[in-house]
Structure 1
Amino acid sequence: MDLFPQASNDEAAPLPFRMRPRKLDEYVGQQALVGPDKPLRHMVETGVVRSMILWGPPGTGKTTLAEILAAESGAHLEHLSAVMAGVKEIRAAVETARVAKGQGKSTLLFLDEIHRLNKSQQDALLPHVESGLLTLIGATTENPSFEVNSALLSRARVHVLKSLSETELIEVMQRALTDSEHGLGLRNIAVDESVLGVLARAAAGDARRALGLLEMACDFTIPEGQGERLPREALEDVIGHGASAFDKQGDQYYDLLSAIHKSVRSSRPDAALLYIARFIQGGGDPLDVVRRLAAIASEDVGNADPRALPLVMAAWDAYLRLGDYEGQRAIAHAAIHLAVAPKSNAIDKAWKQAKDFVAGQPRLEVPTYLRNAPTKLMESLGHGQGYRYAHSEPHAYPAGSDHDCWPDEIQRQRFYQPTEYGQEKRYGQLMAWRAELDAEADDGA
């Protein structure tokens, strides 16, 4: 069995497979890991590989790095997928490692999608990583701190891989166009860098996708001189509308929702629209955006602009009534309003304080004058007695501390503190005026 399958020069193999780097010097990107004096470069130079987890988006070179580390350190490579492999397959890999160790060879276990390991799989793997029989190289697109067992995580250093830049993706494609052994070099295809830039942007940081798009695009070349030329017009059919798609359960999905929220909170309408457009273009549900806007309306705008929440709910209703195309404009309308509106988190702070306070008051009881009295028995117990109907009071306000609606046995607290922003400034003035009425009523009692 070939433990480290080299990329084939078979023209039937996909271009991304054929162009997979075989040495670290051929690797593009991740200079923080593979550059001079960096961790993975040092492992290759010393031949000593430590357990690690490679965390990054698709197409950033996780599998390739594992293969290069195995090849250049002279280790035996076992390749498993957490989706397909069970405890049986892990035990088989352990036995293979024991055989390799008897032959004086170390074993690297590359475990793809390590975040999908269940407890029994992790229990089967852990002692062999601890003993050093296996050097683990896990690969994941999900945050390992949330998805990987803490015992396993503590024995492996996490290395973060970044999406490739547009410049790096163009370099990857240019290599494929000039490589006569594994790439498209024999075809002598002329491609403007601006065309490669379009493909790079469509690939969204994914080298594998960039090479796949390049290969598809080169099916539409036209003869020119002694070679071929890739016209820009061919790109539209190749890229289509799926170029920006992302995993709805992955980090990017939630990162975009986070960026929308923080842009609105920071009063940056253009940035909010940018991330909303990217979210929807990538296949995100517009209703997920409007749900987040509804939360923002109370959490970050609140009473500084009391129109905010009704406007978001109207946008939600408009989207459902108008359909997706026209409805997206209503969502943008709401997002711009929230971003431009004055901001206050006074409601959010008051609600959190109230919940925390009540959690420490298990014996809290409602004052008798606020209690309901639907029966004669309840009336005889004093329920509802002393309640003052606000609309019958001067200024429609029952002034005085004897009617502050607060439980007698609990010290009075102030949760809601209006800010000086927007309409909330007026709320603060109203509350201060009512406090003066309370003081006057108490003085006259």
Structure 2
Amino acid sequence: MNEPLAERLRPKTLDDYISQSHLVGKNGTLTQHIKQGLIPSMIFWGPPGIGKTTLANIIATESGRPFYTLSAINSGVKDIRDVIDKAKQSGGLFTVKNPILFIDEIHRFSKSQQDSLLQAVEKGWITLIGATTENPSFEVIPALLSRCQVYILNAFDKTDLETLLNRAIKNDVYLSKKNITLQETNALLRLSGGDARKLLNIFELIVNSEGSDHVVITDTSVLEKIQNNTARYDKTGEQHYDIISAFIKSIRGSDPNGAVYWLARMIEGGEDVKFIARRLLILASEDIGNANPTALVIANNAFQAVTAIGYPESRIILSQCATYLACSPKSNAAYMAIGKAQQVVRETGDLSVPLEIRNAPTKLMKELGYGDNYKYAHNYENNFANQEFLPDLIKNTTFYEPGKNAREEAHRTFLKERWKDKYNY
């Protein structure tokens, strides 16, 4: 029994595949592609352990295509070219059954490695399926991204994960011979972090640790047998999201000690410097914003610097940035403002732009009143003219509420002085 449970239970058909109904349900996008026999190059984006590799295998099997697979961790340009040469011999632009090349963790490919795929994808020698846990907009070169459809795979919910456990108990060649009772599942689900592969591996370990064929699974028994040792950091996904979450929350909570500790955990685990720096960039706007606009400048400079330098020196730059952000005043006012505005847009649709602030590049538009009564702010005292800039249906709506910090209190004073009661927070 050397093959782990996650491998033994790997679905072989779409009917066995759990979740992702928007892609593989009866009317799912990928279901239709398979039925039509027209499989586009695509990138699967989603958290670890949700079946990206499995889905690629199923697509190849159900569409009757040759299947090649590479891992971005240990494959180079030569490996890519070897696979493409094999694919050219068995498929091509006018062959419906052109081969599928699956690349796991495609975000770890360098630009030159991704460039080596372009011609093969463009000419139809291969159908590329890439899998990534990172936003492909950041990690996949634009030329390759434009040639692929991006499909988002959603994290498993509690029902999905419990379905997997019950399927293991009922269908696995080994576990089905035991008398297993799932009394509680919270500990299993929490330890797995939503990763189905990790869930099944933990479950198998728990079952096999019992000296009897009669196994009762409770939260207590799981926690007793699984030492929740967080000293190990797996950048491929096991604790990837937990560690970065702890890092971000430490900075948001203004604790530089916590920030540096979790940063060290990622650095020791070999985490991608750009991944860390990108999260700092986001935090600089989301959690600090106008309370200290310099935070975004420093975070952006840190991102540029670590991109150019890499390890080991980048650890110093990341530490400087993380501690600066942790010690900065905090505000989520900008983050909340855009969230409120987007919600109003979803609720009210495409409201008309008021005539006075429309552009009037043509004579007809001027005759129709575009731009009439617009007050050019610089023509007025203090470079300000009291004028409504929102559509009539939502006029006087407040989106931005300055935070309670020195800089944004200045914003609050400025807005009150200019707008009087309209911005009377």
Amino acid across the alignment from 2:170? T
Matched, 1:99 2:86: no
Kept in 1, the 8 Å contact 2:43–2:129? The answer is yes
- Deviation string 1:317-359 (CA, Å, 9 cap, x unpaired) is xxxxxxxxxxxxxx9xx99xx78xx9988xxxxxxxxxxxxxx
Deviation at 1:219, TM superposition (A): 2.1
Cα distance in structure 1, aligned partners of 2:132 and 2:109: 11
TM-score normalized by the length of structure 2? 0.58
- After superposition, the Cα gap between the structure-2 partners of 1:110 and 1:297, relative to the gap in structure 1 and judged at 3 Å, is closer
Of 69, 74, 98 in structure 2, the residue corresponding to residue 79 of structure 1 is: 69
- For residues 54-203 of structure 1, the aligned pairs below 5 Å read 54-101=44-91, 105-181=97-173, 184-192=175-183, 194=184, 196-203=185-192
Cα distance in structure 1, aligned partners of 2:227 and 2:167: 24
Cα distance in structure 2, aligned partners of 1:218 and 1:82: 34
Deviation at 1:141, TM superposition (A): 1.1
Cα distance in structure 2, aligned partners of 1:14 and 1:151: 38
Cα distance in structure 2, aligned partners of 1:120 and 1:423: 47
Q: Please tell me whether Structure 1 or Structure 2 has the larger radius of gyration of its CA atoms.
A: 1
Cα distance in structure 2, aligned partners of 1:72 and 1:64: 12
Farther-moved stretch of structure 1 (247-256 vs 236-245): 247-256
Alignment match, 1:22:
12
Cα distance in structure 1, aligned partners of 2:411 and 2:219: 61
Cα distance in structure 2, aligned partners of 1:104 and 1:430: 66
Of 40, 43, 56 in structure 2, the residue corresponding to residue 53 of structure 1 is: 43
Amino acid across the alignment from 1:86? G
TM-score normalized by the length of structure 1? 0.56
Amino acid across the alignment from 2:108? R
Cα distance in structure 2, aligned partners of 1:152 and 1:75: 22
Alignment match, 1:42:
32
Deviation at 1:133, TM superposition (A): 1.0
Unaligned residue ranges in structure 2 (runs of 5+):
268-276, 293-322, 335-381, 385-400, 415-425
Alignment match, 1:208:
197
Kept in 2, the 8 Å contact 1:221–1:230? The answer is no
Amino acid across the alignment from 1:198? A
Deviation at 1:36, TM superposition (A): 2.2
Cα distance in structure 2, aligned partners of 1:128 and 1:297: 43
| CA RMSD after TM alignment | 4.9
Deviation at 1:43, TM superposition (A): 2.1
Alignment match, 1:406:
none
Amino acid across the alignment from 1:221? E
Deviation at 1:90, TM superposition (A): 1.2
Question: Any idea what SS the aligned residue of 1:12 has?
Answer: coil
The percent identity for this pair of structures is 35
Matched, 1:235 2:222: yes
Deviation at 1:242, TM superposition (A): 4.1
Cα distance in structure 2, aligned partners of 1:166 and 1:90: 38
- After superposition, the Cα gap between the structure-2 partners of 1:298 and 1:100, relative to the gap in structure 1 and judged at 3 Å, is closer
Amino acid across the alignment from 1:176? A
Kept in 2, the 8 Å contact 1:202–1:243? The answer is no
- After superposition, the Cα gap between the structure-2 partners of 1:185 and 1:419, relative to the gap in structure 1 and judged at 3 Å, is closer
Unaligned residue ranges in structure 1 (runs of 5+):
1-10, 303-330, 346-411, 432-445
Kept in 2, the 8 Å contact 1:222–1:230? The answer is no
Amino acid across the alignment from 1:184? L
Cα distance in structure 2, aligned partners of 1:124 and 1:63: 22
Amino acid across the alignment from 1:206? D
- After superposition, the Cα gap between the structure-2 partners of 1:90 and 1:190, relative to the gap in structure 1 and judged at 3 Å, is same
- After superposition, the Cα gap between the structure-2 partners of 1:21 and 1:298, relative to the gap in structure 1 and judged at 3 Å, is closer
Kept in 2, the 8 Å contact 1:222–1:229? The answer is no
Cα distance in structure 1, aligned partners of 2:408 and 2:82: 69
Deviation at 1:241, TM superposition (A): 2.3
- After superposition, the Cα gap between the structure-2 partners of 1:246 and 1:24, relative to the gap in structure 1 and judged at 3 Å, is farther
- The number of residues matched between the two structures is 306
Cα distance in structure 1, aligned partners of 2:199 and 2:403: 51
- After superposition, the Cα gap between the structure-2 partners of 1:159 and 1:296, relative to the gap in structure 1 and judged at 3 Å, is closer
Deviation at 1:120, TM superposition (A): 2.6
Cα distance in structure 2, aligned partners of 1:47 and 1:237: 50
Amino acid across the alignment from 2:69? H
Deviation at 1:201, TM superposition (A): 2.0
Kept in 1, the 8 Å contact 2:248–2:283? The answer is no
Question: Any idea what SS the aligned residue of 1:158 has?
Answer: strand
Cα distance in structure 2, aligned partners of 1:430 and 1:106: 65
